[in-house]
Amino acid sequence: MAYRDQTSVDFNDVYFDNIMKSAGVDALTKDAAERAAGVARSTAPVDTGSYRDQIRVVVRESRYRRVYRVVGHDPKTLLIESKTGNLARALKAAKS
């Protein structure tokens, strides 16, 4: 049995940085964002269609990996999200 301060684990940070920037991880995260955007578009409330049509996946480079975000660009996005929670529900639905 290991006692306190007897065991230490050293991770190779460069190795994990390379994994997070690999094509496989990038494809998985992009696919998850595209799925969430598709669900958000299909469940979006439609009046003029502007909100639904302006839901996009936006790419941002972070320090350790590429990040994909599902974003609504319509001026009414915050109002619609506060009333319906469409994007939040779409993200939850895309996880399952």
Q: What is the DSSP string of 18-68?
A: HHHTSHHHHHHHHHHHHHHHHHHHHHS--SSSHHHHTEEEEEEE-SSSEEE
| 33 located within any domain | yes
Q: Residue 72: in which H helix or E strand, if any?
A: strand 66-72
Per-residue pLDDT band for 95 (boundaries 50, 70, 90) equals confident
pLDDT of residue 4: 77
Domain coverage including residue 48: 13-95
pLDDT of residue 13: 87
- Each residue's pLDDT tens digit, 63-75: 888 999 999 999 9
| 71 located within any domain | yes
Burial class (CB in 10 A: 0-12, 13-18, 19+), 55: buried
Separation of alpha carbons 15 and 72, rounded Å:
35
| 5 located within any domain | no
pTM summary value: 0.79
| 68 located within any domain | yes
Count of structural domains within the chain: 1
Output the CA–CA distances (angstroms, integers) from residue 26 to 36, 38, 48, 64, in the order listed: 16, 18, 34, 11
Q: What is the mean pLDDT of residues 82-90?
A: 94
- Each residue's pLDDT tens digit, 4-63: 778 888 888 889 888 998 999 999 999 999 999 999 999 999 988 899 999 999 999 988
| 24 located within any domain | yes
| 4 located within any domain | no
With contact defined as beta carbons under 8 Å apart, do 51 and 80 qualify? Answer: yes
pLDDT of residue 52: 94
| 44 located within any domain | yes
| 32 located within any domain | yes
